[in-house]
Amino acid sequence: MSRPRFIALLLTLVTLLIYFPVTRDGFINYDDDDYITGNRIVENGLTYAGIKWAFTTFYESNWHPVTWLSHMTDCELFDLNAGAHHFVNALIHSVNVALLFALLLRLTGTPWPSALVAALFGWHPLHVESVAWIAERKDVLSTFFALLALLAYVKYARQKSRHSFCHALIFFALGLMSKPMLVTLPFVLLLLDFWPLQRLRFSPRFESANCFSLLFEKIPFFLLSAISCVVTFLAQGSAMDTLEVVPLPLRLENVVVSYVAYLSQIIWPADLAVCYPLPTEFASPAIAISCAGLGLITVLVWMARGRTVAPLMGWFWFLGTLVPVIGLVQVGAAARADRYTYFPSVGIFMAIVFGSWALLKQPRSQKRFIAAGFAVLAACVVLTENQLRYWQDSETLFRHAIAVTRDNDTAHLNLGAALEVQDKPSEALVEFYEAQRLAPWRFEICNDIANILYDDGKIPEALAEFQTAVRLKPEIPYLHNNVGNALVQLGRFDEAMQEYTNALKLDPNYSWTHFQLGNALLKQGRDTEALDQFHDALRLDPDNFQILAYLARVLAAEENPKLRDGQTALLYAFKANLLTGGTQPFVLDSLGMACAEVGRFDDAQEAMQRAVALTNTVKINNLNELRQRLELYQHQQPWRESFRATNAPAQP
C-alpha cells in the first residue's frame, strides 16, 4: 500500500474510532423528531410515496431531497435504532476526512500538511455538532458531495476532461440537494484557480481575458446556485424572521461579531453549545474590536500574498462559505451555530497549515511544525471526546447549553421538553416559565406550558395559555385545535366548535382537528356527526394508530345498535395494533373491546392481559378500568359502557 493510501486509511479509521461513542447515544428532541422519530414518511423507509415526497416537500422550511432519502435509507435498514443512525453520520464524516486529504494532496503534492489539515477537520471539537446530531446529516452529506465535486473539478482543470467537469456539476447538484449552504461553492472553485491550481495569477498586468474565461466556464455552477437560492427562499419564506423581528442593524452587528466568534472557537474551542441565542443588542466595543480584527487579518493575508497565497485563499474560503448562514437572513433568531463551520473551517485550517509550511523553508523547522501539529491534534481529540459526552441525551445537551450561555430560551424550552418526557412535569414547567420570561413572544412556549396544565387538570389556566399562543401565531391550525379541546373540557361546546372551524379553515386536511371535533360531537350525543368526523380524520391519515384505535372503541361500544359495527371495529383495532407492534395499552384495550363485541372473549382476555402487563413500562391512568374490563371478559359478561366522558388521546 502506498504511503498516501495508508495515511488516508489511517485518518479514516482514527476518525471513526474517535466518534464511535456516539453509537451509544439516542435521538434528541431538537429536530430529530421532525426529521426521523416523529416523521412517519421517513420512518416508513424507502417507498415510492416517500421518494416523491422528498423531492416535492418544503417540510422543515428546506428543500433537501437527498438528505431525506438518506434518512429514509437508514430507517429502511435500521428502523429507529439510534446507534445505527449515529454510526452512519460518523462514517460519512470519516470518509470526508479521507476525501479532504486526497483533495489537498492532489492540489499541493505535500502529504504531511494535507494530512494535518484533514485531521484538524476530522478531529476538531467544533465539528461534533455536525456529526453527533442525527438531524444534521445534511452537513456531513453535503460536504461529502462538495469534496467529490472539488476532486472532479481539479481533474478537469488539470486534464481538461469534459467528463470530470460533468461529474463536478452532478456532485455539486447532489450537494445542494443535501444542504443549500453549498451555493458558494462556485466561488471556492475560483479560489482554487488562484491557489493551488494557479490558473489565474497575481501580476502587474492582470489577466482579465483569462479571468473572464474562468468565470464563463463556471456559468453552469452559478446557475445551479441561483436555482438553489430561489428554491431555498421559497422553502424558508414563512420561516424567515422579518426586519421588524430582527432589525437590519442588529443583523449587521451579528455578522461581524459572529465571524470573530467562529474564528475564536476554531482557534480556542471552549464553551461550545448546541444553540446560541441572538442578543437584543451588541456592545459597541465588541463591534469595534470585531471590525478591527477582521480588517487587520484581511490586510495581513493580502500583504503576505507575495510569499504565499495560501492564507489569502483560505481566509476568503472561510469568509465566503459562511455568507449563506452568517445571519443576514435570519431563521429562528439564532446568533450562530457550530455546525455552520463544518465546511468553512477548512479554509482557516488551510491558511494556517499551508501558509506556515510555505514560510518554513528549512526541513528542521517543518519537522518541528509537524510535531506541534500532532500536539494540537492530541488536544483536539481530548476536547472532542469531552464534547461528545454532552450529546448522550436531550437533558444533558441542553443543561450544558444553559451552563455555557446566557439567557438561552431555546435551551430552557428543550430542557423542559426533555423533562416532560421523563414524567417530571413540575421541573419541566420551571424550565418553560423561564423560557417564557426570556422570550414571551414565542407561541410554542405558551403551548407547552398549556399542555402540562391541561394534563394536570388545570383547564382554565391551560385555556389562557392556549389562547395566548393563538394570539401570537393565529395562522397555525393545531393551536386553534388545542383551544377547542380545552373549551370542550369546560363544557363550552359552541366556542369549541368555532375554534375547530377556524382550524379547518386554515387547513381542511388537518386530520387531528376532524378527530377532536368528532370527540366533541360525541360528548354532545351527536354520534352520527361524530362518526363522520372520525372517518374524515381516518381518510386523511389512514395509518394513524390513535385515530384507528379510538374509532374502533367508538364503533364497538356505540349505544345505538344502528351505528355499532363490531367487525369494522375489529379491523381498525387490529391495524392499529399492527402499526404499534402490540406495545400500546390503549390500542390493546380497543382491540379487546372489538374482540368482545364480536364474541371473541378469549382474544379479548389476551389483549387486555397484555395491556395490563404493559403498565410496568408505560404510564397508564385508567389501570383499574382496564382490570375491571378484563374481569368482565373472563366471565363473558356485558361490558359495554358510554364514552361520553372519555378523553380523546392527546395530540402527539
Structural domain includes residue 523: no
Nearest Cα to 96, choosing from 12, 209, 176? 12
In the chain, the largest separation of any two C-alpha atoms, in whole Å, equals: 100
pLDDT at position 331: 75
Helix (H) or strand (E) holding 488: helix 477-489
Q: What is the pLDDT of residues 168-213, one digit of tens each?
A: 999 999 999 999 999 999 999 999 999 999 888 755 555 565 788 8
- What is residue 336's three-state secondary structure? strand
Q: Cis link prior to 585 (omega < 30° from 0)?
A: no
Give the mean model confidence (pLDDT) for residues 626-635. 73
pLDDT at position 202: 59
Q: In angstroms, rounded to a whole number, what is the distance separating the alpha carbons of residues 162 and 157?
A: 10
Give the mean model confidence (pLDDT) for residues 445-465. 96
| Burial readout 180-201 (b: 16 or more C-beta within 10 A, e: otherwise) | bbbbbbbbbbbbbbbbbbebbe
Q: In angstroms, rounded to a whole number, what is the distance separating the alpha carbons of residues 57 and 115?
A: 40
Give the mean model confidence (pLDDT) for residues 144-170. 96
Cell 383495532 sits on residue:
573
pLDDT at position 240: 74
pLDDT at position 616: 60
* Cα atoms in the Cβ-side hemisphere of radius 13 Å centred on 602: 0
- What is residue 601's three-state secondary structure? helix
Question: Dihedral, CA atoms, 116, 122, 128, 133, nearest 10 degrees?
Answer: 170
Cell 389562557 sits on residue:
464
Give the mean model confidence (pLDDT) for residues 518-541. 94
Query: Contact 426/59 with Cβ under 8 angstroms?
Result: no
| Residue 162: pLDDT over 50 | yes
pLDDT at position 208: 61
Domain tally, the chain: 2
Q: In angstroms, rounded to a whole number, what is the distance separating the alpha carbons of residues 409 and 440?
A: 10
Distances from the Cα of 160 to the Cαs of 152, 163, 210, 593, in angstroms?
A: 11, 9, 15, 73
Sorted by sequence, the CB contacts under 8 Å of residue 267 that are 6+ apart come out as none
Structural domain includes residue 427: no
Query: Contact 405/276 with Cβ under 8 angstroms?
Result: yes
| Residue 619: pLDDT over 90 | no
331 has which bridge partners? 240
Query: Contact 180/172 with Cβ under 8 angstroms?
Result: no
| Residue 228: pLDDT over 70 | yes
Write down which residue in 348, 367, 391 finishes a domain. 391
Q: What is the pLDDT of residues 64-101, one digit of tens each?
A: 999 999 999 999 999 999 999 999 999 999 999 999 99
Q: In angstroms, rounded to a whole number, what is the distance separating the alpha carbons of residues 201 and 207?
A: 8
Write down which residue in 391, 422, 447 finishes a domain. 391
Q: How many beta carbons lie within 10 A of that of residue 52, not counting itself? A: 12
Average pLDDT over the chain reads 92
Q: In angstroms, rounded to a whole number, what is the distance separating the alpha carbons of residues 430 and 419?
A: 10
Query: Contact 348/318 with Cβ under 8 angstroms?
Result: yes
pLDDT at position 651: 46
Write down which residue in 391, 417, 443 finishes a domain. 391
| Residue 652: pLDDT over 50 | no
Structural domain includes residue 356: yes
pLDDT at position 647: 47
Give the mean model confidence (pLDDT) for residues 234-253. 82
Cα 30 from chain centroid? 6
| Residue 298: pLDDT over 60 | yes
The per-residue DSSP string of 70-82 comes to HHHHHHHHHTT-H
Cell numbers representing residue 202 in the block: 497575481
pLDDT at position 645: 41
Distances from the Cα of 414 to the Cαs of 29, 335, 409, 431, 535, in angstroms?
A: 7, 17, 9, 9, 35
Q: In angstroms, rounded to a whole number, what is the distance separating the alpha carbons of residues 474 and 480?
A: 8
Structural domain includes residue 311: yes
336 has which bridge partners? 276
| Residue 472: pLDDT over 60 | yes
The per-residue DSSP string of 136-150 comes to GHHHHHHHHHHHHHH
Q: What is the pLDDT of residues 372-391, one digit of tens each?
A: 999 999 999 999 999 999 99
Structural domain includes residue 464: no
Report pTM. 0.90
Amino acid at 617: T
Between vectors from CA 128 to CA 124 and to CA 133, what angle results, nearest 5°?
Answer: 165
| Residue 620: pLDDT over 60 | no
Cell numbers representing residue 424 in the block: 417530571
pLDDT at position 211: 83
Query: Contact 537/547 with Cβ under 8 angstroms?
Result: yes
| Residue 23: pLDDT over 50 | yes
| Residue 650: pLDDT over 90 | no
Q: Helices in 111-247 by DSSP H: which ranges?
A: 111-123, 128-132, 137-159, 162-176, 185-194, 208-217, 219-236
Cα 594 from chain centroid? 40
- What is residue 277's three-state secondary structure? strand
Structural domain includes residue 417: no
Structural domain includes residue 288: yes
| Residue 643: pLDDT over 70 | no
Query: Contact 425/441 with Cβ under 8 angstroms?
Result: no
Q: In angstroms, rounded to a whole number, what is the distance separating the alpha carbons of residues 588 and 556?
A: 13
The listed range with the strongest mean pLDDT (145-149, 206-210, 246-250, 603-607) is: 145-149
Cell numbers representing residue 412 in the block: 430552557
Amino acid at 132: A
Q: In angstroms, rounded to a whole number, what is the distance separating the alpha carbons of residues 151 and 473?
A: 47
Sorted by sequence, the CB contacts under 8 Å of residue 435 that are 6+ apart come out as 409, 410, 412, 413, 416, 442, 445
pLDDT at position 241: 72
Structural domain includes residue 159: yes
Q: What is the CATH number of the domain that holds 626?
A: 1.25.40
Sorted by sequence, the CB contacts under 8 Å of residue 581 that are 6+ apart come out as none
230 has which bridge partners? none
In this predicted structure, which of 112-121, 193-202, 458-467 has the lowest mean pLDDT?
193-202
Banded pLDDT at 515 (limits 50, 70, 90): very high
Amino acid at 128: V
| Residue 430: pLDDT over 60 | yes
| Residue 157: pLDDT over 90 | yes
Banded pLDDT at 637 (limits 50, 70, 90): low
| Residue 153: pLDDT over 60 | yes
Q: How large is the angle between the packed helices 527-540 and 511-523, nearest 10 degrees? A: 160
Q: In angstroms, rounded to a whole number, what is the distance separating the alpha carbons of residues 638 and 142?
A: 61
157-160: long-range contacts (C-beta < 8 A, 24 or more apart)? 157/192, 157/193, 157/197, 157/199, 158/197
Nearest Cα to 408, choosing from 397, 424, 393, 422? 397
Query: Contact 21/132 with Cβ under 8 angstroms?
Result: no
Q: In angstroms, rounded to a whole number, what is the distance separating the alpha carbons of residues 62 and 180?
A: 8
In this predicted structure, which of 346-350, 488-492, 557-561, 566-570 has the lowest mean pLDDT?
557-561
Distance in Å from the first CA to the final CA of the chain: 54
Domain of residue 551 covers 543-652
In this predicted structure, which of 78-82, 83-87, 512-516, 583-587 has the lowest mean pLDDT?
583-587
| Residue 492: pLDDT over 60 | yes
In this predicted structure, which of 153-167, 202-216, 392-406, 615-629 has the lowest mean pLDDT?
615-629
